[in-house]
Amino acid sequence: MMETIDKFISLFSEFNLVIEPKMTRPAKPNNSTNTNPRKSIADLKKKLDRLTKEYKQAQRSFKHNKITRQELFNFEWRIFEIQEDLNYLQGQGDNNEI
């Protein structure tokens, strides 16, 4: 086995491996709430619609004893959080337009 490895290494003994660092640009901060609040509001509305549909499905699953009350509560809590974020951004957008 070692002979095979030594033969393989000897085939590439004349190659020099040179690694050059890639020039990268500094990363821009990705804070969508400051740059474009309308876009994030639209994203939150889409998430809220999707979560509302999932919540309705979860309610049906709960009625058929497929999920627990805690899992149903988790759906409700996620919807509440998205609504709070949406209300905050809409209120912030109103203050910026004045």
pLDDT digits (tens, 9 = 90+) for 17-71: 676 777 777 776 655 445 566 668 889 999 999 999 999 999 999 999 999 999 9
Residue 81: band (very low, low, confident or very high) from pLDDT cuts 50, 70, 90: very high
pTM for the structure as a whole: 0.56
Place of tokens 């004349």: 14
pLDDT for the residue 83: 93
Residue 93: band (very low, low, confident or very high) from pLDDT cuts 50, 70, 90: low
pLDDT for the residue 3: 87
CB 89 within 8 A of CB 40: yes
Residue 71 to residue 77: CA distance in whole angstroms = 10
5-15 per-position pLDDT tens digit: 888 878 877 77
